[in-house]
Amino acid sequence: MTKRLVLCLALCTLTACGIEDSTHTGSESEALVAPGTLPGRGVTPLAVTVVDDPAGVGAAAERKASVVIRSAAAYRAAFGHAPPASVSFSGGDVVIFFSDGVKPTGGYTASIVSVVQIGRALSVATLLTSPGDGCITTDALTTPYALVKVTPRGRTYNARFQHLRSVDDCEPPPTCDSIECADGQHCELQEIVCITTPCDPIPQCVDDGAPEFCGGFAGFPCPSNQLCVDDPSDDCDPSMGGADCGGICVENPCNLVDCVPGNVCEVQDGEAVCVPATGGGTNPCAFTLCPVNTECIEQDGEAVCKPIGGGGDRCGDVTCGPGQVCCNSSCGICTPPDGACIQIACL
């Protein structure tokens, strides 16, 4: 079904609602990036699990609220009863509650689509989906809400909510029935990752037959919308000394990913990952002071201090020796600075 996504420009201020540690301090940039943390560093997407509370949330869903709950006492104060057994505050769980208040009809859904830990702060993206004009809804007041839990790495102190809104037009999902592809291609429904999950796959024309060759000693490239990966059908292993292994071109996973605004898609270990934008490619070494006899090297988007004279580069699961640099981090291949490098990804 088609969804029209409208980003809410105003970020909601956290409502206390009797919940401990539910306030935030600092400017927007301070809340989204912890002090001393560079964009792209110290950023951890957290697994979001829906909390199934048989007792519900009572009247809490009747008002607009975006709150973070860090203790059993705060949970009881918010909803009038103890948390369910699935929540373990002593084990580090944090509960997040989002409600947009009373709605005039059915067809509204509230969800929390992502929670990212940035240093000691949480960045939470919520989504309220409203029924479109073509949807059939119940004529009754409803109170959609979302109740989830995450487990941050260590204690967090601040939280910032970003509220997203979309409209469900209740249209049928797309199919390949009306898609005409060129000769040598056929239509397939491709799964797409989006911030308004879940979302429908999209029809896309893909090539018939064997995938295109890439990599090798000559480093044959793939088309701009594809990625070169190790060919699993051959006996050549790039991580076991096969620096001239050939590869195959596959669909770039970032082609089917829609990241939250302020983030960009990167391919890591063959998968599409949304990471915070680095603000125009600023070199992280500009903010790093290295010890004497070391120099700052940008490595995988991070500033790394290493001894002057070469060697010591992290290269996937290995560390390069003196006089060598990382040639291919996904395959763990180190070469001299002017050595040949295979341009494929080891999955």
Give 212-222 pLDDT, tens digit per residue.
677 766 667 77
In the chain, % of residues over pLDDT 90: 31
Would 260 be classed as within a structural domain? no
Asked whether residue 138 falls in the same domain as residue 224, the answer is: no
User: In which domain, by residue range, is 347 found?
Assistant: 212-253+284-347
Asked whether residue 220 falls in the same domain as residue 127, the answer is: no
The phi, psi pair for 285, rounded to 5°, reads -65, -15
In this predicted model, which residue has the larger pLDDT, 41 or 100? 100
Would 238 be classed as within a structural domain? yes
**Cα–Cα dist 20/171, whole Å:** 42
DSSP letter, residue 58: G
In this predicted model, which residue has the larger pLDDT, 214 or 37? 214
Would 184 be classed as within a structural domain? no
Would 262 be classed as within a structural domain? no
Would 100 be classed as within a structural domain? yes
Last residue of a domain, one of 111, 135, 168: 168
Last residue of a domain, one of 141, 168, 195: 168
Which of 11-25, 106-120, 229-243, 307-321 is the least confident region? 11-25
Which of 217-221, 225-229, 271-275 is the least confident region? 217-221
Q: Find the mean pLDDT for residues 130-134.
A: 86
The phi, psi pair for 253, rounded to 5°, reads -60, -25
Asked whether residue 41 falls in the same domain as residue 131, the answer is: yes
Asked whether residue 157 falls in the same domain as residue 217, the answer is: no
Asked whether residue 63 falls in the same domain as residue 137, the answer is: yes
Would 331 be classed as within a structural domain? yes
Asked whether residue 158 falls in the same domain as residue 25, the answer is: yes
Would 273 be classed as within a structural domain? no
Q: Say how many domains are in the chain.
A: 2
* Predicted TM-score of the model (pTM): 0.43
Cα distances (Å, whole numbers) of residue 144 to 38, 99, 273: 36, 6, 30
Long-range contacts of 275-278 (CB under 8 A, 24+ apart): 275/40, 275/43, 275/301, 276/33, 276/39, 276/40, 276/43, 276/118, 277/39, 278/39, 278/40
Asked whether residue 112 falls in the same domain as residue 230, the answer is: no
In this predicted model, which residue has the larger pLDDT, 3 or 244? 244
Q: Which helix (H) or strand (E) holds 75?
A: helix 72-79
Instruction: Output Rg (C-alpha) for the chain, integer angstroms.
Output: 24
Which of 79-83, 101-105, 150-154, 291-295 is the least confident region? 291-295
Residue type at 242 in one-letter notation: G
**Cα–Cα dist 266/284, whole Å:** 17
pLDDT surpasses 60 at 332:
yes
Asked whether residue 8 falls in the same domain as residue 147, the answer is: yes
Asked whether residue 51 falls in the same domain as residue 147, the answer is: yes
Asked whether residue 155 falls in the same domain as residue 217, the answer is: no
Asked whether residue 9 falls in the same domain as residue 140, the answer is: yes
The per-residue b/e assignment along 308-337, b for 16 or more CB within 10 angstroms, e otherwise, is eebebbbbbeeebeeebbbbbbbbbbbbee
pLDDT digits (tens, 9 = 90+) for 159-197: 999 999 999 887 777 778 878 887 777 787 776 655 544
Which residues, in sequence order, are CB contacts of 250 under 8 Å at separation 6+?
211, 226, 227, 229
Please, which pLDDT band fits residue 342 given cuts at 50, 70 and 90? Answer: confident
Would 258 be classed as within a structural domain? no
